[in-house]
Amino acid sequence: MDKTSFVDFQVVSNISGTKKEEVIETLVNNLDENNYLASKEVFLQDVLERENTLPTYIGYEIGLPHSQSEGVNYSSVTIGRLEEEIKWTEEGEEVNTVFLIAVPNNNEDNLHLKILSKLSRLLMHEEFRNEVRNLDENALIATLNEKVKGELE
């Protein structure tokens, strides 16, 4: 990982879980293995709590779980691409792509919040959503760096 960067992007493809909690846990485990987290348990709990308050379904078969949490050391966005659609809300809305946004609790710089707001805006564009679904992992990370970070430099 690049710890000098304000936010890093990760892509996890071919996720095979059938439950929302399971998929979120897979993505959290990936972050933990790559040393982005101070506490895997705290972050996972915060993300799931936020999900239970208001599910982060945004349409277009995308879920956007996010938390600013004491369990996070370094800001990151993980794109999880699922093999099969899974149910995300009580109403039965399904997702095949998940963006997990992790932000440390004690951040003093607003830059990563700007990156996150930029990412949120990009998700409303069809061309970007197609890239997220179809590009290979390296090309997708390059696109994210260009479109999300590039504009802030």
Partner 1 sequence: MQIVAVTSCPSGVAHTYMSAESLELSAKNLGVNMKVETQGTSGIENRLDSSEIQAADYVVLTNDVEIREMERFKGKKVVKMSVADIIKKSDALLKKLKATSE
Binding site for partner 1 (CB under 8 A): 50, 53-54, 56-59, 64, 66-68, 101, 103, 110, 113-114, 116-118, 120-121, 123-125
SS3 101: strand
Min separation Cβ 136 and partner 1, Å: 26
Query: CA–CA distance from 57 to each of 39, 94, 139 (Å)?
Result: 25, 8, 25
Q: Which residues pair with 78 in a beta bridge?
A: 10, 100
Min separation Cβ 52 and partner 1, Å: 12
Question: ∠ CA 83-65-55 to the nearest 5 degrees?
Answer: 95
SS3 135: coil
- The residue (of 38 and 58) whose beta carbon lies closer to partner 1 is 58
Tell me the chain's radius of gyration from C-alpha atoms: 14
Min separation Cβ 69 and partner 1, Å: 11
- The residue (of 12 and 119) whose beta carbon lies closer to partner 1 is 119
User: Is residue 12 within 8 Å of residue 40, measured between CB atoms?
Assistant: no
Map tokens 């951040």 to a residue.
107
- The residue (of 50 and 147) whose beta carbon lies closer to partner 1 is 50
- The residue (of 1 and 124) whose beta carbon lies closer to partner 1 is 124
Min separation Cβ 67 and partner 1, Å: 8
